[in-house]
């Protein structure tokens, strides 16, 4: 393969042979719930169940397995926010190579710990992927082979093996929806499917806060850190331009709601980048009405972020209700309110007293409560009941 030449279907088939049983053939599931909410049949390609928890093992192992003796002796280096780091570390361990990984200082601890566990030397540098990539490039000048996360023909070919699987697994499907960061995943899939299933529409999804393929120059924070790439690769940009039908964007709020739905209804733990495809379908931004297959690219979400996302998603769905009211500041008033809420089968999850900073009388206290509810209709019922009981209520969430 030439260094800057896009891989062919033959290259992807060769990558499939090189991978052997290293990469699992991940399943495709249907989801009645997501289909109902999106208005079209929805299938899920669960790369969350791949080794190291994401699709990246396909491209990383393909690249490392191609190195000659001298290159293996010199070791490898890469930059990554997490999933590529884990994949390179795992592949290097399996092949007996030394790996150095540059990661952003704010990378998720779950991904840092996993990468270290696989045996790589980790260097934390910069605020994002681009700074880590610059540091890795400088390190590679010392002789180590750079394993680029997306702008490398061998890496793209490895990711393209997903396209081979989809061609066999999908029957009556109109559209394949793929998350897009640097573009390696969607490039590989598009190359394979354009040859094997040319009738399929291929739609890429980016986080609105960082969406250069969609023509945006914004580079803000996103919970979809796996696709937060400011500058796409030259090779991947050309492939995406030629073979991908459309790029759409989704907000972090939409991604968060997709994460919650996937966990609660599909029983799949999916990180922000992977859930972006489902978010796009739920927001009805993917053209067409026929069956769509969403590629869930990874499941390595930081537990702290997952906690925040779950609370947000459940609040948006009306499963939490937070409100403020005023009570006479004397014993028994909070117990009385709690008893009234108990008659409505409401579970109090949190209570906070406020006696300053608000417009309160001398003998008053503000109480902020978070309660568990069934849905938004139930939230409205509880708020009305509180007013009926004589409480002045301000909804906080």
CA distances from 29 to 45, 262, 325, 366 (A): 7, 12, 46, 48
Decide if 395 contacts 386 (C-beta within 8 A): no
Task: Tokens for 58, please give them.
Answer: 């396909």
Question: Which helix (DSSP H) or strand (DSSP E) does residue 354 occupy?
Answer: strand 347-354
Q: Is residue 4 part of a domain?
A: no
Backbone angles phi, psi at 280, to 5 degrees: -65, -40
What is the C-alpha to C-alpha distance for residues 18 and 303, in angstroms, rounded to an integer?
Answer: 34
Of 287, 313, 339, the residue at which a domain comes to its end is 313
Q: Are both 194 and 166 inside the same structural domain?
A: yes
Regarding whether 243 and 163 lie in a shared domain, the answer is: yes
Q: Say what the pTM is.
A: 0.89
DSSP helix/strand/coil, 75: coil
Q: Verify that 291 and 167 share a domain, yes or no.
A: yes
Q: 322 near 368, Cβ under 8 Å?
A: yes
Is the pLDDT reported for residue 1 higher than 70? no
Query: Is 3 inside any structural domain?
Result: no
Whether residues 43 and 84 fall in one domain: no
CATH of the domain at 236: 3.40.50.1100
Say if 99 falls within a structural domain.
Answer: yes
Let me know whether 268 and 337 are in one domain: no
How sure is the predictor about 218, in pLDDT bands with cuts at 50, 70 and 90? confident
Looking up residue 391, the CATH number of its domain turns out to be 3.30.70.260
- Region of 318 please: left (phi>0), alpha (psi -120 to 50) or beta: left
Domain termination site, one of 313, 345, 362: 313
Please count the structural domains in the chain: 3
Looking at the fold, whether 36 and 167 belong to one and the same domain comes out as yes
Chain centroid, CA 211 distance in Å: 14
Same domain as 387, residue 329 = yes
Q: Residue 1 falls within a domain, yes or no?
A: no
Exposure on the CB side of residue 294, measured as CA atoms within 13 A: 32
Q: What DSSP letter does each residue of 173-238 carry, written as one string?
A: --EEEEE-SSSHHHHHHHHHHHHH-TTSEEEEEEETTS-GGGT-------S-GGG--SS--HHHHH
> What is the pLDDT at residue 266?
95
Mean pLDDT of 102-117: 89
Assess whether 119 and 169 both reside in one domain.
Answer: no
Compute the mean pLDDT over every residue in the chain, rounded to the nearest whole number.
93
- Look up tokens 């007996």; give the residue: 96
Q: Say if residue 380 is exposed, middle or buried (CB neighbours under 10 Å; 0-12, 13-18, 19+).
A: middle
Classify 263 as helix, strand or coil: helix
* The pLDDT of residue 363: 81
Decide which of 313, 345, 375 is a domain's last residue: 313
Is residue 36 included in any domain, yes or no?
A: yes
Query: For residue range 231-261, what is the model confidence (pLDDT) as tens digits?
Result: 888 999 999 999 999 999 999 999 999 999 9
Residue 378 forms part of a structural domain: yes
Using an 8 Å Cβ cutoff, are 131 and 125 in contact?
A: yes
Model pLDDT for residues 307-316, shown as the tens digit of each residue: 999 888 888 8
For residues 242 and 294, state if they share a domain.
yes
Kindly state whether residues 172 and 248 are assigned to the same domain: yes
Residue 244 lies in a domain: yes
179, 277 Cβ separation under 8 angstroms: yes
pLDDT value for 2: 39
Spatial neighbors of 193 by CB under 8 A, at least 6 apart, are 163, 166, 167, 176, 200, 202
Instruction: Render pLDDT for 279-300 as a digit per residue (tens, 0 to 9).
Output: 999 999 999 999 999 999 999 9
Answer yes or no: do 83 and 132 share one domain.
Answer: yes
What range defines the domain where residue 387 resides?
318-395
């Amino acid at each position: 393969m030439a260094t800057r030449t896009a891989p062919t279907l033959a290259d992807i088939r060769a990558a499939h042979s090189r991978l052997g049983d290293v990469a699992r053939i991940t399943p495709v599931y249907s989801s009645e719930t997501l289909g109902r909410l999106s208005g079209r049949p929805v299938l899920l390609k669960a790369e969350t169940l791949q080794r190291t928890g994401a699709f990246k093992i396909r491209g990383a192992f393909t690249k490392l397995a191609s190195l000659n003796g001298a290159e293996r002796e010199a070791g490898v280096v890469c930059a990554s926010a997490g999933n590529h780091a884990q994949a390179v570390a795992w592949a290097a361990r399996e092949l007996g190579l030394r790996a150095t990984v540059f990661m952003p200082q704010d990378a998720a601890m779950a991904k840092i710990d996993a990468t270290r566990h696989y045996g790589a030397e980790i260097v934390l540098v910069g605020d994002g992927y681009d700074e880590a990539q610059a540091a890795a490039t400088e390190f590679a000048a010392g002789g180590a082979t750079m394993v680029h996360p997306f702008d490398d023909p061998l890496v793209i070919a490895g990711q393209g093996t997903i396209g081979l699987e989809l061609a066999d697994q999908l029957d009556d499907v109109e559209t394949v929806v793929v998350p897009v960061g640097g573009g390696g995943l969607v490039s590989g899939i598009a190359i394979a499917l354009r040859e094997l299933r040319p009738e399929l529409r291929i739609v890429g999804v980016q986080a609105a806060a960082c969406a250069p393929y969609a023509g945006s120059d914004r580079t803000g924070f996103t919970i979809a850190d796996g696709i937060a790439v400011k500058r796409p690769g030259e090779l991947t940009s050309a492939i995406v331009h030629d073979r991908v039908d459309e790029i759409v964007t989704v907000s972090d709020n939409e991604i968060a709601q997709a994460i919650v739905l996937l966990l609660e209804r599909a029983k799949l733990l999916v990180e922000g980048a992977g859930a972006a495809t489902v978010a796009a379908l739920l927001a009805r931004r993917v053209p067409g009405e026929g069956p769509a297959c969403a590629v869930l690219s990874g499941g390595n979400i930081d537990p702290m972020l997952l906690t925040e996302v779950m609370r947000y998603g459940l609040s948006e769905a009306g499963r939490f209700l937070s409100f403020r009211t005023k009570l006479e500041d004397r014993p028994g008033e909070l117990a009385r309110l709690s008893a009234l809420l108990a008659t409505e089968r409401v579970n109090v999850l949190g209570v906070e007293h406020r006696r300053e900073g608000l417009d309160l009388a001398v003998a008053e206290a503000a109480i902020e409560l978070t309660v568990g509810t069934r849905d938004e209709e139930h939230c409205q019922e509880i708020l009305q009941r509180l007013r009926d009981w004589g409480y002045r209520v301000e909804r906080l969430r």
